[in-house]
Amino acid sequence: MTSFRFLHAADLHLDSPLRGLDADLDAPARRIRRASREALANLVDLAIAEAVDFVVIAGDLYDGDWQDFRTGQALVAALARLTRAGVRVIAIRGNHDAESVLTRNLRLPEGATLLSARAPQTLRLPEIGVAVHGQSFATRDVQENLARDYPVPLPGLFNLGLLHTAATGRPGHAGYAPCTVEQLAGHGYDYWALGHIHTREELLRDPWIVFPGNLQGRHVNEPGAKGATLVTVRDGRVAEVAHRALDTVRWQRLAVDCSGAADLEQVLSRVRHALGTALGDVGGRLLALRLALEGDCAAHAALARDPLGTRERVRAAGLEVAEEDAFWIEAVRIGTHPPSGSAIPRPEGDAVGRLLGAIEALSGGAESTALTTAVQSYAAALLDRAGGLREALGAEHPAVLAAEGHLPAELLQRARQLLLSRLSQD
Alpha-carbon gap, residue 188 to 202, rounded angstroms? 17
The full set of domain ranges for the chain reads 4-245, 248-342, 347-426
Q: How far is CA 262 from the centre of its chain?
A: 36
At residue 213, the pLDDT reads 97
**With 80 as the cut, is the pLDDT of residue 367 above it?**
no
Please report which helix (H) or strand (E) contains residue 92, including its range: strand 88-92
Contacts of 239-243 spanning 24+ positions with Cβ under 8 A: 241/202, 241/205, 241/208, 241/210, 243/200, 243/212
Taking the C-alpha atoms of residue 72 and residue 68, their distance in angstroms, rounded to an integer, is 8
Where b means 16+ CB within 10 Å and e means fewer, 239-274 reads eebebbbbbbbbbbebebebeebeebeebbebbbeb
User: Mind listing the pLDDT tens digit for each residue in 331-356?
Assistant: 999 999 998 755 555 555 566 566 65
Q: Which amino acid is present at 267?
A: V
Tell me if the domain spanning 4-245 has CATH number 3.60.21.10: yes
Residue-wise pLDDT tens digits, 124-137 = 999 999 999 999 99
- Look at residues 50, 77, 72 and name the one whose alpha carbon lies nearest to residue 62: 72
Q: How many angstroms separate the CA atoms of 254 and 288, rounded? A: 10
Q: For residue range 201-240, list pLDDT tens digits in order.
A: 999 999 999 999 999 999 999 999 999 999 999 999 999 9
Distance separating alpha carbons of residues 392 and 78, to the nearest angstrom: 28
Phi, psi (rounded to 5 degrees) for 190: -90, -25
Q: For the ranges 81-85, 239-243, 411-415, which has the lowest average pLDDT?
A: 411-415
The upper half-sphere exposure of residue 347, i.e. CA atoms within 13 Å in the direction of its Cβ, equals 12
Q: What is the pLDDT of residue 356?
A: 59
Output DSSP code: residue 140: S
Question: Residue 77: which residues within 8 A CB-CB, separation 6 or more?
Answer: none
pTM, two decimal places: 0.82
The pLDDT assigned to 255 comes to 97
Using DSSP's 3-state secondary structure scheme, residue 81 falls into: helix
Q: How confident is the model at residue 167 (pLDDT cuts 50, 70, 90)?
A: very high
Beta bridge partners of 201: 211
**Per-residue pLDDT tens for 61-86?**
998 888 889 999 999 999 999 999 99
212 close to 39: Cβ distance less than 8 angstroms: no
Q: Which residues of 148-173 are buried (b: 16+ CB within 10 A; e: fewer)?
A: eebeebbeebbbbbbbbbbbeeeeee
Q: How far is CA 32 from the centre of its chain?
A: 13
Alpha-carbon distances, residue 171 vs 154, 193, 354 (angstroms): 35, 20, 40
Average pLDDT taken over every residue of the chain: 87
Average pLDDT on 156-161 reads: 97
Query: Higher-confidence residue: 49 or 397?
Result: 49
